[in-house]
Amino acid sequence: MKNSIKILISILFIAIAVFIILNNNKNEKKQKEYYKIFDELGNHNTIKYIHDKLFKKINLFTSSDELASNYAYICIILYAVTVLLSIILISCTNNLWYVKAVDIGLMMILPYTIIKSIINTKYEKVKRQIPEAIEEFQHWFFRTKKIDDALKETSQHLKGNIAKPFQVSYYNIAKGESAAIKTLKDIFNDEHMDTFCQLLLSYIENGGKPQSLNIALTNLITETNLDISFTQKQKGRLLKYKIGAVILAIFTIIIDKYLKVVFTLDTPISNMNNTKVNGLLIFFAIYYFFIDILEHA
């Protein structure tokens, strides 16, 4: 299993290097040639389903829909290549069959967890700015009393990735205010933003007093801040358990390495030690993924 982890790390470094080279390639013609393969991948239903799920999150923190789509396909390819190479290299080792099976299982889960963690971290960072965005919109709506003007000013004054959804929404204002707000709702795919958009849609379609909408937005900002604060504290506690699992797994590998200095590889003690070490690593892996499931439940 320790060799398998080394294999995974090596493959990940290679995959990341390829991604950086591809992403920083200034030759647009070559980039388009590389990305042609994505059109072929999109024809497969399973890959398209995975791509669409990744796209919804990546699109929130990238500069364009095309770039988000390309990144989603790159994540799928990196995962597939990493798992395939891991399976090939693990199959060539001299480990027992059940150890190989466990290693292959872990190699299928670990890259997924790494990619998922990176995407979720950037995605959550943008979502934490939602109260600020709603407050910015409230400020301009209070001054202009118009949805379209407030949307325009908000898209111009927000900083960072949180500005993109509002900019895209304002570009769709020609289709009508309702269409623009629905675009904003679809991009975020967040319960607090859903409530925000529903308030605006209700105001657009049914009318009402600006003061009433202003009060509703103030209440929503307060509620959103409280929910985000609670979620952050909860995830912070769970993160400690995940870090603990990783540290214990690394500590187990280090201890096992030094034990083999004392006992030869062919002794019963060494064989028993290998079995116990693999068992412990499997336990820590299951524990880590269980905490990960709780974190995103």
Closest CA to 8 of 76, 113, 80, 107: 107
Residues 6+ apart with CB under 8 A from 185: 193, 194, 197, 198
Which pLDDT belongs to residue 34? Answer: 53
Cα–Cα distances (Å) from 83 to 4, 109, 119, 136, 219, in that order, read 11, 9, 19, 44, 47
Q: What pLDDT sits at residue 51?
A: 85
pLDDT of residue 13: 56
Structure token digits, residue 88: 């090939």
Quickly tell me which residue has 């590389």 as its tokens.
34
* Residue 75 pLDDT: 85
From first to last of its 297 residues, the chain has per-residue pLDDT tens of 555 555 555 555 555 555 555 555 444 555 555 555 566 665 677 888 888 888 888 888 887 778 888 888 888 888 888 888 878 877 877 767 776 777 777 777 778 878 888 888 888 888 899 999 999 999 999 898 899 899 999 999 998 889 888 988 898 888 888 999 998 888 887 889 999 999 999 999 888 888 899 999 999 999 999 998 888 888 778 878 888 877 877 777 677 666 655 555 555 545 545 667 777 777 877 887 788 777 766
Spatial separation of the C-alpha atoms in residues 233 and 63, rounded to whole Å:
30
The amino acid at 73: Y
Q: Write the CB contacts of 124 (distance below 8 Å, at least 6 apart in sequence).
A: none
Which of 103, 43, 111 shows the shortest CA–CA distance to 75?
A: 111
Q: What is the pLDDT of residue 81?
A: 81
pLDDT value, residue 187: 86
Conformation bin of residue 146: beta by default, left when phi > 0, alpha when psi is -120 to 50: beta
User: What is the spatial distance between Cα 297 and Cα 285, in angstroms, rounded to a whole number?
Assistant: 18
Contact residues for 229 (Cβ-Cβ < 8 A; gap 6+): none
Beta carbons within 10 angstroms of residue 167's beta carbon: 14
Return the pLDDT at 222.
Answer: 94
Q: Look up residue 92 and give its DSSP letter.
A: T
- Is 208 in a helix, a strand, or coil? coil
Phi, psi angles (nearest 5°) of residue 158: -70, 145
What pLDDT is attached to residue 161? 86
The distance in angstroms from the start CA to the end CA of the chain is 29
